[in-house]
Amino acid sequence: MSGGARTASAYLVKGDDVSLVAQEVRTLLDDLVGRRDHALVVEEVGGGPGDELDVGAVVDACLTPPFLVDRRVVVVRDAGRLVTAEVPRLVDVVQSSLPSTFLVLVAGGGVVPAPLVKAVSASGRIIDVTTSKAGDRKAWLHEHLRGAPVKLEPAAADMLGRHVGEDLGRVEGLLGALSAAYGEGARVSAEDLKPYLGEAGTVPRYELTDAIDNGDAGRALVVLHRMLDAGGLAPMQIMATLHGHFANMLALDGDDVAGERDAAAILGTAPFVAKKALEQTRRLGSARIAEAINLLATADLDVRGVSGLEAEIVLEILVARLARQTRPARQTRPAPRPGRPRQTRPGRRNSAGAEAG
């Protein structure tokens, strides 16, 4: 928008990553303010941490005409702290705001009252940067690379996505560094990108269990270290993830489960989670599930110091064993059927090197 024509009277920015929400708010404010003096245009309304937000102060700010400029942008951070009982006053303002005023609500501090969300949806725009799912992260990255100051080749874009994982907040800084190094509009290859990647970002926990389910020990170990290092997870948190994964299979094993709905009811999880657990339960069978539970029980004691090994080594051994244990059984060739020994022709040598005849 770059400070151009008015497109919405109110905005609600929400998401599950604080850094991404902050980046989106910063970009939105840059668009709304344009070339104007930020100090004259933008007014931040809010109390101290943990305090309830005064709806009256927000309403007053929205109804105050701009001074020395042609527009006013009212920013309310941690909008979940707004007092629900007083929200109808703010809803009225959203529905009939001054032509010169923009309201920017930033989710956080609790749940944003539903009537306010509905009003913003009708009169303004909701910007959702939720990236908890792999598809959401992929879509977010694709969208931000389209408007990036440099153009990443497909292999470079794929490398960047794999490397940052869930840490999408690092993307903006990386793109800025690439622009400074190669120039705005430059085409960046995977080789050009490598020196700027730094430490690999964390990954969602399901990538570890997926790698184990696929019997891919190498991938599982890579994911494990990214969770420990970039993710900052404690060994017992990873143990809890693995235990929950196999405990779901144990709960489904032996039950007469007709399908994913029955599995979801038993586990109390979303259908897609139950479906994966049910498929893996049927693939492994009772014996291998029991073996996995035994491995987990032993590793739990070892992480707590019973074996004397470092917790990281215990987890490496556990993950490798679980992946090997869940690997599909190898297909062996059937033994040849017994029959008459092959006759060799005269003049030819048999396998012992003697002339047949």
Both tokens assigned to 316: 């490496």
Residue-averaged pLDDT of the chain: 81
Which stretch of 34-48, 125-139, 261-275, 322-336 has the lowest confidence by average pLDDT?
322-336
Going along the chain from its start, the domains and CATH numbers come out as 10-128 (3.40.50.300), 134-196 (1.10.8), 206-326 (1.20.272.10)
Question: 322 by DSSP, 3-state: which?
Answer: helix
**Res. 7 pLDDT band, cuts 50 70 90:** low
- Give the sign of the dihedral formed by CA 187, CA 188, CA 190, CA 191: positive
Per residue in 299-343, pLDDT (tens digit) is 999 888 888 888 888 899 999 889 888 776 544 444 455 554 444
Whole-angstrom distance, CA of residue 191 vs CA of residue 187? 11
Q: Which residue type occupies 129? A: V
Question: 334 by DSSP, 3-state: which?
Answer: coil
- At residue 332, the pLDDT reads 41
- At residue 198, the pLDDT reads 67
Residue 274 pLDDT exceeds 60: yes
Residues 6+ apart with CB under 8 A from 134: 204
Q: Which residue type occupies 202? A: T
Residues 56-71, mean pLDDT to the nearest whole number: 88
- At residue 11, the pLDDT reads 93
Whole-angstrom distance, CA of residue 247 vs CA of residue 332? 31
Residue 112 pLDDT exceeds 60: yes
Per residue in 178-229, pLDDT (tens digit) is 888 788 888 999 888 887 776 666 678 888 999 999 988 888 888 888 888 7
Per residue in 73-107, pLDDT (tens digit) is 999 988 888 888 888 989 988 888 788 899 999 98
- At residue 4, the pLDDT reads 42
For residues 156 and 189, is the Cβ–Cβ distance under 8 A?
A: yes
Residue 243 pLDDT exceeds 60: yes
